Structure 1
Amino acid sequence: MNYTNLIKQFPNLIIKENEPLSNYSYTKTGGPADILFFPASIAEVTAVINWTREEGYPLTILGNASNLIVRDGGIRGVTVILTELNQITVDKNRLIADSGAPIIEVSQAAYEAELTGLEFACGIPGSTGGAVYMNAGAYEGEVKDVIEKATILTLDGDIIEVSNENLEFSYRTSKLQSTHDIVLDVTFKLKSGNPEKIKDRMDELTFLRTSKQPLEYPSCGSVFKRPTGHFTGKLIQDAGLQGLTWGGAQVSIKHAGFIVNIDNATATDYIELIEHIQEVILEKFDVELEREVRIIGESIEETSRI
C-alpha cells in the first residue's frame, strides 16, 4: 500500500500510516496499524471495505477499542475505526444509531427523547456496533432486550438488514462474532417513559459504576465473563490475586474483575497477567475463566519475522 496513493484515492477520509493503536485503545496499549482509516459515512465505509477486499489486504474493524487488547506488534493490512460514523436520530419510539456512536451517548439521547429501555447502557464505554457485536450488558439489561434490527455490511460487500432474532444473541456474544459482518447502524425499539424516573435510574447506575469500578486508570473493562455459579471478582480475591502487578498492569485494588494500566503497561503485560489469573483460578478452584475482552493483532516477535 502506498500512503500517498491512498490519500489521492480517498481524499475526504482521515487516513494514518503506521499509527500506534495505543492512541485509541482504552488500555493505552497496542502496536501500530499499517494503515488506519476513519470513515464518516456508510458510503465511505463501503468504499474502503470493497477496496480492501478487491486488493486482498487483511482487514480489521474496530469500534472505539474499549473491551479490546491490541498486541504490541500491532495490526497488519487495513484497520478501520468507526468512531467518525456516529449519528443518532430518533423516530417516535425508535432510536437509530450509527455503529460508531458511543452507547453512552445513545443512552443519553434516549433519555432526552423520554424513551426508556437503554438506562442500563449509560455507563458502558463502548460503541453501538461493539455493543451489538458482543451483546453488551450491565445491571440486568442487555442489548438484545432493546434492539429491533441492525444494518450490516457483509464481507462480500452486500448491505442487508438483520433482525434481532437473526443476530442470535446470547451471553456476551452474537452471530457477528462468527460471520465477521460489519455493523453500520442499529435500530433500538424503546418505550415512552417518565423522564424523571429515567434520569433517576441513570444517576443510580452511574453512582454504582463510579463507586465500584476503577475509572481513574486506563483499563479494558470487565476482563472475564462470569462463570456459571461464581463471581469472577470474588474468585480472584479468594485466590489472593487482587493487587497483583505484572509489569505496568495490575489487578485492580478497587475491583478484582478489572486489570488497570498503572505504569505504562504493555499489551504483553496485560496478556501475561490474564493468562496467569486463568491458570491460578483453574488450579485453585477448577474453574475456567473465559475472556470477555478480545485480544487481536500480532506480537512483537511475529512482527519482527515479517
Structure 2
Amino acid sequence: MSNRSISIDNIEILQNEPLSKYTFTKTGGHAENLAFPKTVDDVKQLVSYANQHHLPITTLGNASNLIISDDGIKGLVMILTHMNQYHLSGNEIIAGAGVPIIDVSVLACQHSLSGLEFAAGIPGSVGGAVFMNAGAYGGSTSQAVESAQILTKDGQIKTLTNQQLKFSYRHSVIQETHDIVLSAKFKLKSGNQTHIQSLMDNFNAQRASKQPLNWPSCGSVFKRPKGHYAGQLIHDAKLQGYQSGGAQVSRIHAGFIVNVDHATATDYLNVIHHVQQQVYKNSGVHLHTEVRIIK
C-alpha cells in the first residue's frame, strides 16, 4: 500500500508505492512518486511538475525487460501503460507508448499487414520496444517503425524519424537522450493474412516450448555476443539451475533468470554478476546485459 497520494490537475501521484507490483520479475523497491498518465497532456503536466520541484524523471512501460533496484527510484516515475490508444490508417498503425506491442502485431495481422510478426510474443510496450529496439526471431522494431513522437525533458514535443532514432542492436538514441516516447508510427506491407498468422503462431509455439513462461522473469537477460548465443555459453558453463536467494538461472532456457522463491532485485543482480564471471572464465566471452537495470 502507498503511504499516501497527491493530485495535480486531476492526475493522481502515488507516494512510496512498491514497484514490485508492476514489474514482470515481481521485484524492485518503492517509487518516491508514481503516476500513470493517460494522455500526452498528462505527461507534459507531470514533466512540468517534476521540473518545478527538481525531481528526476524515470519513464517505464510494461516493465517486462527491467530490473529495478531494491532501493527503489527517487523523484517521479511515470508508467505509460494507460497511454493505450492506437489506430490504423492504410498500411500504417499509430500506437501510444503504453500499447502492448503484441496488440499492434495482432491488429496488423487482422488487416493482412506484414512486418510485425516477430513481435507476436514480446511482452513489452510500444515505448519500450522503441527504447531498446526490441526484437525476436530475426525481426526488430527498427524494421517496422517509421517515426516516433517524443517529449524532451524540457517539455518539447518532437517527431523523430527512423534514421534519427539511431537504431542498432537492442539500442535507440532514446537511451542517451532520456526523452519520453509518446507514440510510434509503424509502416507495414500488405501480405497474406493466413501466412502472417502462421508465422506468428510458429514464433509463439517456439517461445512456449523453449522459454520459462510460467515463472516471473525479466525476459532475455543478456545481449547476443558476436558469434555466440548467450544461452549456450551459460549452458556450457554449467550454470543452469544456479540460484542466489530466490533468483535462478532457468533450467528451461539458460538465457532467462526466473523468480522461483520471492526473489529480490539484489538476488537477480547477484545471479547476473555470477553468470558473467563464470561465462568469461569458461569461454573468454564477456556477456553484456540486455535487460534494463535501474539502480
> By the TM > 0.5 criterion, same fold?
yes
After superposition, the C-alpha distances for 1:79-137 in whole angstroms (9 at most, x for unaligned) are 00000001110000000000011101111111122211101001011010000010000
Q: Counterpart in 1 of 2:192? A: 194
Contact in 2 for aligned 1:224/1:289 (Cα 8 Å):
yes
Contact 1:249 1:261 (C-alpha < 8 Å) held by counterparts: yes
Contact 2:25 2:259 in 1 (8 A): yes
Mapping of 1:10-21 within 5 angstroms? 10-11=9-10, 13-21=11-19
- Which AA in structure 2 matches 1:69? I
The alignment partner of 2:102 has SS state of helix
Question: Which residue pairs with 2:167 in the alignment?
Answer: 169
Tell me which residue corresponds to 2:113: 115
The percent identity for this pair of structures is: 54
> Which of the numbers 33, 36, 44 marks the counterpart of 1:35?
33
Aligned partner letter, 2:251 = I
Looking at structure 1, the residues matched to 139 and 238 of structure 2 have their Cα atoms a distance apart, in angstroms, of 31
Provide the residue aligned with 2:251 in structure 1.
253
**Contact 1:84-1:100 at 8 Å conserved across structures:** yes
1:209 equivalenced with 2:218 (yes/no) = no
Alignment partners' CA distance in 2, 1:45 and 1:112: 31
Structure 2 runs not aligned, ≥5 long: none
Match runs of 1:39-118 below 5 Å: 39-118=37-116
Query: CA offsets, 1:52-102, max 9 Å, x none?
Result: 112211111101111000111111111000000011100000000000111
Counterpart amino acid of 1:287? V
- Tell me which residue corresponds to 2:24: 26
Task: Describe the SS at the equivalent of 2:164.
Answer: helix
Structure 2 counterpart SS, 1:85: coil
> 8 Å contact 1:83–1:100 — kept in the other structure?
yes
Number of equivalences: 293
List per-residue Cα deviations over 1:176-207 (Å, max 9, x = no partner).
Answer: 10001110000000011111111111111110
Deviations 1:183-241 (A, max 9, x none): 00000000111111111111111100111000000000000000011111111111110
- Which residue of the partner structure matches residue 300 of structure 1? none
Partner of 2:142: 144
Q: Distance in 2 between matches of 1:240 and 1:208?
A: 23
Q: Deviations over 1:129-152 (max 9, x none)?
A: 000010000001001101100000
**Matched letter for residue 205 of structure 1:** F
1:10 aligned partner, one-letter code: D
| Letter matched to residue 55 of structure 1 | H
Contact 1:18 1:32 in 2 (8 A): yes
Contact 2:84 2:96 in 1 (8 A): yes
Query: What amino acid is the match of 1:162?
Result: L
Residue 44 of structure 1, CA deviation: 0.5
CA distance in 1, matches of 2:183, 2:111: 19
| Off by >6 Å, runs of 4+ in structure 1 | none
Instruction: Please name the residue that 1:226 is paired with.
Output: 224
Name the TM-score, length of structure 1 as normaliser. Answer: 0.94
TM-score using structure 2 length: 0.97
The equivalences for 1:235-250 within 5 A come to 235-250=233-248
Q: CA RMSD in A?
A: 1.2
> 1:260-271 maps to which residues of 2 (within 5 A)?
260-271=258-269
| Partner Cα separation in structure 2 for residue 82 and residue 173 of structure 1 | 20
Q: Is the 8 A contact 1:90 1:113 kept in 2?
A: no
